[in-house]
């Protein structure tokens, strides 16, 4: 595993009260790490603290945090450092997907961008300097989305927020690798279809096409061990080859001078299907 992961080291997981964040927090605790679970206050955070704390009650703290608010991220960093020590792993995972429309009929664009994009950017900006200064190996995992790469129609605010995460994480890793004596790395975590509270939409049974959080975090850990930057996760419906073709087609809209989102354009549907099947 990455040399930032191991007994006695400190991991912070935002959005850690459910889904992928909760699964990751449990893995870090099981590896002997000290873990901070950060999420909105409430019963879910309390339950997460109990479940992860069952693995290591003396090494787990829960910090109510709204990552959409800069002062709360600063308070999180200060408390973690004071109570657990220097941070080795930061998993910027908190996110929301309430739905959105292009003219913001729901009046939620500010909140989506504040949580999904600025929460990750500010999390890295606030935690990374201390991680670098420690002189120790460090890992920043930013949770993105395939929707931030292929930007399908239907949820523009979410797509924009996750496209921002991709661009920021690429720039962050470039900066880290060019910083003298820096042992901190950043990676872009791109889940596939995962059955979590964020994606359940009222369903109680996992759809056949979805992966479980455990499968997805397994893939994350394996990818980190390989040294991957783009951690592009498959699921039961979409494999790596299909993802690669969808991403290449999206980039081709620019290089081939097609209309934007041509994958969903009536004049290009047949061409896209032929491309996918080739």
Please state the rounded mean pLDDT for residues 72-95. 98
C-alpha 163/C-alpha 205 separation (Å) is: 30
* pLDDT of 171 over the 90 cut: yes
* pLDDT of 61 over the 70 cut: yes
Please state the rounded mean pLDDT for residues 63-81. 98
Cβ neighbours around 215 below 10 Å, total: 18
Mean pLDDT of the chain: 96
Share of the chain above pLDDT 90, in %: 93
In order of start, what are the domains of the chain with their CATH numbers?
10-237 (3.40.50.720), 239-278 (no CATH)
**Predicted TM-score (pTM) of this structure:** 0.96
Q: What is the pLDDT of residue 5?
A: 96
- Residues 6 or more apart whose CB falls under 8 angstroms from that of 112 comprise 96, 97, 98, 100, 157, 158, 161
Indicate if 230 belongs to the active site. no
* pLDDT of 271 over the 80 cut: yes
Q: What is the pLDDT of residue 158?
A: 98
Say which of 158, 168, 189, 272 is annotated catalytic. Answer: 158
Q: What is the pLDDT of residue 25?
A: 97
- Residues 6 or more apart whose CB falls under 8 angstroms from that of 136 comprise 4, 86, 88, 183
């Amino acid at each position: 595993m990455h040399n930032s992961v191991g007994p006695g080291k400190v991991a912070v997981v935002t959005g850690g009260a459910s889904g992928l964040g909760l699964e990751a927090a449990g893995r870090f605790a099981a590896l002997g790490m000290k873990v901070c679970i950060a999420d909105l206050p409430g019963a879910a955070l309390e339950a997460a603290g109990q479940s992860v704390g069952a693995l290591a009650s003396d090494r787990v703290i829960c910090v109510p945090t709204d990552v959409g608010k800069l002062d709360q991220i600063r308070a999180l960093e200060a408390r973690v450092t004071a109570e657990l020590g220097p941070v080795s792993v930061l998993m910027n995972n908190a996110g929301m997907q309430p739905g959105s429309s292009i003219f913001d009929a729901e009046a939620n664009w500010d909140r989506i961008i504040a949580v999904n994009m600025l929460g990750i950017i500010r999390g890295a900006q606030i935690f990374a300097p201390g991680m670098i200064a420690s002189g120790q190996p460090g890992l920043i995992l930013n949770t993105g989305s395939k929707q931030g790469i292929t930007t399908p129609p239907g949820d523009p605010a979410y797509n924009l927020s996750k496209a921002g995460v991709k661009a920021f994480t690429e720039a962050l890793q470039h900066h880290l690798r060019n910083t003298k004596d820096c042992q901190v790395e950043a990676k872009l975590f791109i889940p596939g279809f995962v059955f979590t509270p964020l994606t359940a939409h009222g369903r109680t049974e996992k759809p056949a096409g979805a992966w479980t959080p455990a499968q997805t975090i397994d893939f994350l850990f394996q990818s980190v061990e390989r040294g991957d930057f783009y951690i592009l996760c498959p699921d039961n419906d979409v494999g790596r080859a299909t993802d690669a073709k969808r991403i290449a087609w999206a980039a081709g809209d620019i290089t081939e001078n097609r209309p934007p989102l041509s994958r969903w354009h009536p004049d290009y549907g047949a061409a896209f299907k032929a491309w996918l099947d080739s």
